[in-house]
Structure 1
Amino acid sequence: MSKLNGLILTGGRSTRMGEDKAQLVYHGKSQREHLMEMLRPYCSVVFWSVNVNQEAELEASGQLQLRIVDRYAIDGPLNGILSAFTYDPGAAWFVVACDMPLLTVQSLDTLVKGRNREKMATVFYDSDGKLPEPLLGIYEPAFGPMLQQAVKDGVYSPRQLLQQHDIQLLSVPDVRELTNINDQPSRKKLGL
């Protein structure tokens, strides 16, 4: 049985938000620290997925949190997921985007209990209930080689890859938990 590592996707540029979404404080600490604490009970180890600039900032500030630096010239979350599989191809990866501040252990528990290790991934239907939500899920080791081939073929959409492969789809207990906060108006609208 493969170990389950945690991966918090923090490597985006946060251009719409105007500041690093991973460092926003919603629960008394930065979002990346909050998610790290949430994932710890489920995972062998939890990593922050960071871009090169974030890596330099973390080094300069002396933060020792385990992290995986984006290794590929790919924009988007696929870079973080692929970099994680490059780092540890034998692990399954519990992936969480840093911009889901309404996420609770209720959804994490549902994913872990509904996990199907025989499938490429276990994810929720998105907030519309129609397509897979790629930024919150468990990706099995078999997903890594398929992901590498997809990138070679020029396919960079995690959702598209999930749609094309045998995955376990679950209904999220509370659809609000999938809410992405990507800009200041969205944040204010939710009172965060």
Structure 2
Amino acid sequence: MSESIPTYPQLAALVLAGGQSSRMGEDKAQILWKGKPLLQRVCEVACHCAPHVYYITPWPDRYESMLSPEQISGRTVQALAETEHQRGPLGAVWEGLSQIEAEWVLLLACDLPLLDPAIVQQWADQLPHLPLESLALVPQQGTLWHPMCGFYRRSALEPLRQFLEEGGRSFQRWLPQIGTTPLEVGPAEFRMLRNFNTPGDLHTSSPE
């Protein structure tokens, strides 16, 4: 992966590494893909797209060695502690947004090894042009959102808090409520957004 410099200083990246990995049978973040743990690979892409990169997890010490500056092209990836694990990914997003000062946060799941930094950067280039009332920029196919590779404005924090307090847990229900701007998903984007949930997924998507 060639070196690049993130071009939008008001963007930070947040990688989720708090899933139970129940269908995979082992911690997805640590599974090797092309010789690198999935979490490390996703963080490398994040470093190409944002000047500040964080990962949030209930187990910050578990991943420290794989995310040292020596492992991530000299970049620092900062751990954030996820303290309310029972609230799922949306709860982790709320905790992350609460601790990150950037105007926009690029949210990435740790199980997206096919991420293309060029596509993600093209999406990020749209952020300065979005209206203030749009609190998220997220890929959408039909009525289905792909929230684990999307951009969230920090001002989404309060509506997210209210949604969680009302018992909400679904991105699919929350995103239409906050003026989300959809990103078009073509064949290249569809391939990039594929996540790995089971051992079978690993075998059917062998490294190129």
The two structures have a TM-score, normalised by structure 2, of 0.80
Unmatched runs of 5 consecutive residues or more in structure 1: none
Q: Which residue of 2 aligns with 1:72?
A: 84
- Tell me if 1:137 matches 2:150: yes
- Tell me if 1:112 matches 2:124: yes
Does 169-178 or 137-146 show the bigger shift? 169-178
Q: Within 2, Cα distance between the matches of 1:121 and 1:63?
A: 27
Q: Within 1, Cα distance between the matches of 2:169 and 2:60?
A: 23
CA RMSD of aligned residues (A): 2.3
Q: Summarize deviations over 1:160-181 as a string: whole Å, max 9, x none.
A: 1102220110112421111111
The two structures have a TM-score, normalised by structure 1, of 0.86
Q: Is the 8 A contact 1:71 1:79 kept in 2?
A: no
Q: Within 2, Cα distance between the matches of 1:56 and 1:32?
A: 14
Q: Within 1, Cα distance between the matches of 2:84 and 2:9?
A: 25
Q: Which residue of 2 aligns with 1:46?
A: 53
Moved over 3 A (4+): 61-65
Give matches, 1:1-192, under 5 Å.
3-51=10-58, 54-58=59-63, 65-88=77-100, 91-115=103-127, 116=130, 118=132, 119-126=134-141, 129-173=142-186, 174=188, 175-191=190-206
For residues 181 and 73 of structure 1, do their structure 2 counterparts lie closer, same or farther at Cα, with a shift above 3 Å needed? closer
Q: Within 2, Cα distance between the matches of 1:63 and 1:39?
A: 12
Does 175-184 or 114-123 show the bigger shift? 114-123
Aligned-pair identity (%): 26
